[in-house]
Amino acid sequence: MQSWEIRPFDGVGPLNFGTPRSRVREALGSRFHTFRKSAKSQSETDAYGDLGLHLYYDAADQLKFIETFPSCALRWGNLWLFRADLRTTIGEMQASGQPAITDPSGCYFEGLGVAIYSPYDGRIESVGVFRRDEWEHYLELAREIAEKRRLRAERRKALGAPKNPFQSDEQT
């Protein structure tokens, strides 16, 4: 199994951000399919299921974001990201000097341009690695979402509502 090392803001494994789609396809081969992540997607995503990769491209068809899944042997230094749960991964990353910012869907590491998706039981479902300009955009969105959550919590508190809107006061 090929090892895919994160190179912050530069790429993952042999993939470099800014590489044209055609060159990425030459390097990885023809075992992929394309899809649009959402109706708002401006370009198609290449999915390499065997490698555990979804590759995203900008309007100029250059690689801008890499999403990895458990079948990808992804690592940062000596830490294999899909071999541990989220709590362990955060602890090891922080021990190496990378502070984590957690949210309900997982966490992200500002100094690396890496976001980990782990919304349920601590199992890491995917890891996203960003090109610098895409990372800045991601951080803006994350801050906006955090501020909206904070304001909603303040409104609930001011109204005397439970912290969790799906529970009554007796359940909290």
Check: CB of residue 168 under 8 Å from CB of residue 103: no
Distance of CA 81 to the CA centre of its chain: 12
Supply the pLDDT for residue 121.
87
- 172 or 55, greater pLDDT: 55
pLDDT of residue 114: 95
pLDDT of residue 159: 83
For residue 20, give the DSSP letter: B
How does pLDDT run across 98-125, given as a tens digit for each residue? 999 888 888 999 899 999 999 888 899 9
9-50: pLDDT as tens digits: 999 999 999 999 999 999 999 999 999 888 888 889 999 999
Please report which confidence band the pLDDT of residue 136 belongs to, taking 50, 70 and 90 as the band edges: confident
- Give the list of residues 6+ apart from residue 153 with CB closer than 8 angstroms, or none: 163
Distance CA 163, CA 165 (A): 6
Global pTM reads 0.83
Q: How many angstroms separate the CA atoms of 109 and 81, rounded?
A: 13
- pLDDT, position 14: 94
Give the chain's radius of gyration (CA, Å).
18
Of 83-87, 90-94, 134-138, least confident by mean pLDDT is 134-138
Residue with the larger pLDDT of the pair 131 and 163: 131
Residues 6+ apart with CB under 8 A from 41: none
Span 44-77, pLDDT tens digits: 999 999 999 999 999 999 999 999 999 999 999 9
Kindly give the residue spans of alpha helices, DSSP state H, lying in 29-125: 86-95
Q: Residue 156 contacts by C-beta under 8 Å, 6 or more apart in sequence?
A: 162, 163, 165
